[in-house]
Amino acid sequence: GLDTMCRMLDAEFAFVLYDKVAKKVVAGRDPIGIRPMFYGYTKEKGEIAFGSTAKTLMDLCDQIFPFPPGHYYDGEKFVTYRDPAMVTRMHTPSFEEATTGIRDYLVKGVEKRLHADAPVGYLLSGGLDSSLVCSIASKLMPGKKLRTFAIGMDRNPIDLK
């Protein structure tokens, strides 16, 4: 069902679907809330309405709310399917396991974001984290040019203080 589908999706998403069999509208948003989504109740009939921007709902609804990340709407109510604050179990890996795990997760995270619906670019802040992400992307796409950007500051950047 809807709960299983949302738990299995491993992506940035926001969706609204009409379930023709059940004759109801369902919706969901990724656990972190990367894809924007808003909802409100129509002025006329009090029916729920969804939009990818708050502006799209302004004429339809008196009040507009952000669709909560990690939730889905089942046609009647909002349901939490993933809450990053809730830890299901505590695991204390060894130092070697932890460092290998962090590296693997970082590489997988960069790789996953290379498959985007828009051109990918990298904002280089001058710090280690943005340089590391860019380096990993470069290794994952040998022979391809990376689109990089940098912004100059009149003062010292915060991460150098």
Output the CA–CA distances (angstroms, integers) from residue 115 to 69, 118, 119, in the order listed. Answer: 21, 9, 9
- Kindly state the helix (H) or strand (E) to which residue 7 belongs, with its residue range: helix 2-8
pLDDT of residue 55: 96
Closest residue by Cα to residue 117 from 13, 32, 46: 13
The predicted model scores a pTM of: 0.71
Output the CA–CA distances (angstroms, integers) from residue 6 to 21, 34, 161, in the order listed. Answer: 19, 15, 42
Amino acid identity of residue 15, one-letter, is: F
Which residue spans within the chain are E strands per DSSP? 14-19, 24-29, 38-42, 48-51, 61-66, 71-73, 78-80, 121-123, 147-149
Phi and psi, residue 147, nearest 5°: -90, 110
Q: Are 19 and 36 in contact (CB under 8 A)?
A: no
Please give the mean pLDDT across all residues of the chain: 90
Domains belonging to the chain, first-starting first, are: 2-80 (3.60.20.10), 95-160 (no CATH)
For 53-64, the pLDDT digits (tens) are 999 999 999 999
For 94-112, the pLDDT digits (tens) are 999 999 999 999 999 999 8
